[in-house]
A and B are shown apart, each in its own frame.
Chain A
Amino acid sequence: MAGVTQLLAGVARLIPGLDVESLRCAIRDEYSTVAMEPERGFHFHTGRRLARILGYEEAWLANVPEPSIASFAGTGNPFSLGAPRPGERVVDVGSGAGIDSLIAASMVGSTGYVVGVDMTPAMLEKARASAAEAGFDNIEFCHGFAEELPVPDEWADVVISNGVLNLFPDKTVGLGEMARILKPGARLQIGDILVQKAVPEGAKRDIDLWKG
């Protein structure tokens, strides 16, 4: 047990002094702009060009309305790790404008179901409009935070997320929530970022750095 205690002492927890509410506001502002003005230009790529960079297949995008593609701002490709199967339940944490949720909804078909969760109202509005436009009835988008997902215990077969985990103030709590909603033996498939150089303690509380 001592080994476990030592291990847990080394994991990513909430950074002392980090203003979580200010961080959430800053992230919400940034991604509201991505939702409403995707052509503005950011420190990351967006849209169809980004989807190509990340290896999204054109066929996956066939049923995704253009507004959701335009506001895509992921950093990886959860589907490269395996497609959700027909009939499965998928949760997309930080679903943004809905591109990954809509792709998953096509993959699981009418017997499956997808829940997208996001904390940015402008993104939720865009995702819901795309789901309605494309005629999906096996998907819903909910307001929520990664640290408190609005999904029952052991509901999901797959949890996906793309470019969002790095924005969690407490990675262990957010990942623990993902574990809570997955069935035993079920899959976590994540696109995110890796920081290859050590970040100084002071910089970890710099909200501008979190955003970009």
Chain B
Amino acid sequence: MTVIAAGFVDFEITWRAEVFGGAPQASSAAQFGTVGINFRARKPRDPDEWTAALSTLSCNTRSH
């Protein structure tokens, strides 16, 4: 969501893996399940393309 909000489209995580196991020191962040990832995205060709990408992420919220 942050990547698209910052001005990108076609965001995709292509790979994730445990990359910290066996490191010389223990990680204090490991308790939160940190894994390595690769991701890609693309700058839109024009503002309309970005607006369209944003609209696919937005959702309706119900008022109570």
Q: Interface residues, chain A, CB within 8 Å of chain B?
A: 3-4, 6-8, 10-12, 41-45, 50, 53-54, 75-78, 80-82, 171-172, 174-176, 178-180, 182-199, 208-209, 212
Contacts of B15 in A (CB 8 A): 76-77, 80
Interface hits, B6-60 → A, CB 8 Å: 6-8, 13-16, 19-20, 22-29, 31-46, 54-55, 57-60
Q: A77-B15, A212-B25 are in contact. List 14 more A-B contacts (CB 8 A).
A: A11-B6, A44-B19, A76-B38, A80-B14, A81-B14, A81-B40, A175-B2, A175-B7, A179-B6, A188-B43, A192-B39, A194-B16, A198-B32, A212-B27
A191 and B16 CA atoms in complex are apart in Å by 10
B47 nearest CB neighbor, chain A only: A184
Contacts of A198 in B (CB 8 A): 32
A4 nearest CB neighbor, chain B only: B54
Contacts of B13 in A (CB 8 A): 194
Partner among B28, B37, B43 whose Cβ is within 8 Å of the Cβ of A182: B43
Partner among A42, A176, A179 whose Cβ is within 8 Å of the Cβ of B24: A42
Check A175–B46 contact: CB distance below 8 A: no
Scoring B24, B55, B60 by chain A CB atoms within 10 A of each residue's CB, the highest score goes to: B24
A187 and B44 CA atoms in complex are apart in Å by 10
A43-B20, A81-B40 known; A195 vs B1 contact (CB < 8 Å): no
